[in-house]
Amino acid sequence: MQPNKYEVNYNVRKRSKYKIGDLIKIECDTDNYIGTLMPRYQYTNHDNIIIKLQNGYNVGIPIKSVNNITKMSKQTKSNVVHQTYNAKSTTLPKVLLLSTGGTIASSLDYVTGAVSPTFDGNEIQKLIPEISKFANIDTTGIFLESSENIIPSHWKKIAKKIISYKKSQYVGIIISHGTDTMHYTSAYLSFALSGFPIPIVLVGSQRSLDRPSSDAAINLISAIRFVIGYKSQGVFVVMHEDENDSIAACHIGTRVRKNHSSKRGAFQTVGGKPAFLIHNEDGHITQNTNKVFNQKFYGGKIDLDTRVSLIKYYPGYDSKLLEYIIDHNYRAIILEGTGLGHVGNTLYESIKKAIENDIFVGMTTQCINGIIQMNVYESGRKLTKLGVTPLNMIPETAVVKAMWALGNSNNVLEMKKIMSKNVAFEFK
């Protein structure tokens, strides 16, 4: 005798008859569903039953519409994907995968609905086994952090780890990283490891690995294809070019920025095209840049000093805030000015005070495209006369470079020389 609708609803609510992970068939008024019973988020509506369909997507079915639930036999080989490694091949190149966390190493927490880092490099390889078709992948973890929690001391850990492989047989090093601050890390590594003999690529994903819509696999495969196919130097970021899965973009590490909070093609090269495009259908690489990465590696300069402040100017900005920075032992200030590189004249005296106190002051622009030209308007000329240094680079890159330059110089004059030199193609 089949249970009535009340009994079905009661059993679903109490979870007394069906267990998480059971393969069940749900019969409703208008349709039937087969899938794996999933846990619900702690804070979501409990009047729905959540199942993972055999195509990988999760659906919520209103309990009031359920007529009957049948527990089915255990999943068979026909409906389970078994993920295994390919055997190591002596003919494939060697690639190192360093894991630091982020969405690419995250899964969904069904208690809270939050996405949290849970996978290390080895587990990423298990979840994306097809990467073994392209290279012999060695994996190691450095730390497991969401990118918003990564701070400059983490950058140094990554750099030290990479330097330890400078004489290895790897053709490239890939770093799995959270997307929110990936461009800060890529900028630091570009300066600290300038001239490193093999390509270094940061890769992430906008959607976690356990989601069917995840972009992690294509991004990682594209990064592997790039380090195999581009046998040179440089630090890069590889992510989707757009919402389509057909092309991944490879950006120079000092010229890239995350310009969208959630879509796949979130990263863009500021002021130009991506340096390379990786075509996923056949793996060929299109080169959009004539920049040559052939600097000599001197062992890395990984020191930095975080006494740097980024000030985004806006109408009405209180000069007292700038005075606070000057009085609290900061050694560099990066101004994110308007237009060609301007701030209001209410800040001139404070800027003059900062420079007189041997604090480096650099000017960037809030404009996404275009360059600093401080000799066009009177405001820019006055700021230049005060000693403000024009910096034709992304504000975030300028902040990272200032930390690195401050950590590798003895005085403000040395720092100014470093900031004015194009070290890793950071200039627009």
Pairing label, strands 200-203, 172-176: parallel
Pick 215 or 401 by higher pLDDT: 401
Burial code (b: 16+ CB inside 10 Å, e: under 16) for 249-279 equals: bbbbbbbbbbeeeeebbbbbbbbeebbbbbe
381 φ, ψ (degrees, to nearest 5): -65, -40
Residue that is written with structure tokens 């140094």 in the block: 156
How does residue 4 score in pLDDT terms, banded at 50, 70 and 90?
Answer: low
Residue owning tokens 């995840």: 214
C-alpha 48, offset from chain centre: 34
| Amino acid in position 175 | I
Q: How confident is the model at residue 281 (pLDDT cuts 50, 70, 90)?
A: confident
Q: What is the pLDDT of residues 42-57, one digit of tens each?
A: 555 667 887 877 655 5
Q: Calculate mean pLDDT across residues 115-122.
A: 55
pTM of the model: 0.79
Ordered DSSP codes for 363-384: EEES-SSS---TTSSHHHHHHH
> What's residue 21's pLDDT?
74
Helix (H) or strand (E) holding 404: helix 395-407
The ranges assigned to domains in the chain are 5-76, 94-287, 308-420
In 26-35, which positions are buried (b, 16+ CB within 10 angstroms) versus exposed (e)? beeeeeebeb
CA 394 – CA 416 distance, rounded (Å): 17
CA distance 11 to 69: 10
Distance in angstroms (rounded) separating the CA atoms of residues 125 and 83: 10
Q: Kindly give the interhelix angle for 182-192 and 395-407, rounded to the nearest 10 degrees.
A: 40
CATH classification code of 308-420:
3.40.50.40
Is residue 160 predicted with pLDDT exceeding 80? yes
- Give residue-wise pLDDT tens across range 180-236: 999 999 999 999 999 999 999 999 988 766 655 678 888 999 999 999 998 789 999
The answer to whether the CB of 215 falls within 8 A of the CB of 202 is no
Please choose, from the candidates 401, 386, 398, the residue with its C-alpha nearest in 3D space to the C-alpha of residue 342. 386
Assigned token pair, 333: 């200030």
Edge-to-edge strands of the sheet including 23-28?
A: 58-62, 48-53, 32-37, 23-28, 66-71
Residue numbers annotated as active site: 103, 179-180, 258
Under 8 Å between Cβ of 300 and 190: no
Residue showing tokens 């890769």: 203
Dihedral over alpha carbons 265, 271, 273, 276 (to 10 degrees): -90
Domain 94-287: CATH class, spelled out: alpha beta
Is 5-76 assigned to CATH 3.40.190.290? no
Which alpha helices (DSSP H) does 20-63 contain, by range? none
Same topology between domain 94-287 and domain 308-420: yes
What is the mean pLDDT of the segment spanning 291-298? 79
Amino acid at 244: N
Nearest 10 degrees: Cα torsion 154, 159, 161, 165: 170
Q: Which of 129-138, 269-278, 290-299 has the lowest mean pLDDT?
A: 290-299
* pLDDT tens-digit readout, 74-104: 544 333 333 344 456 678 999 999 999 865 5
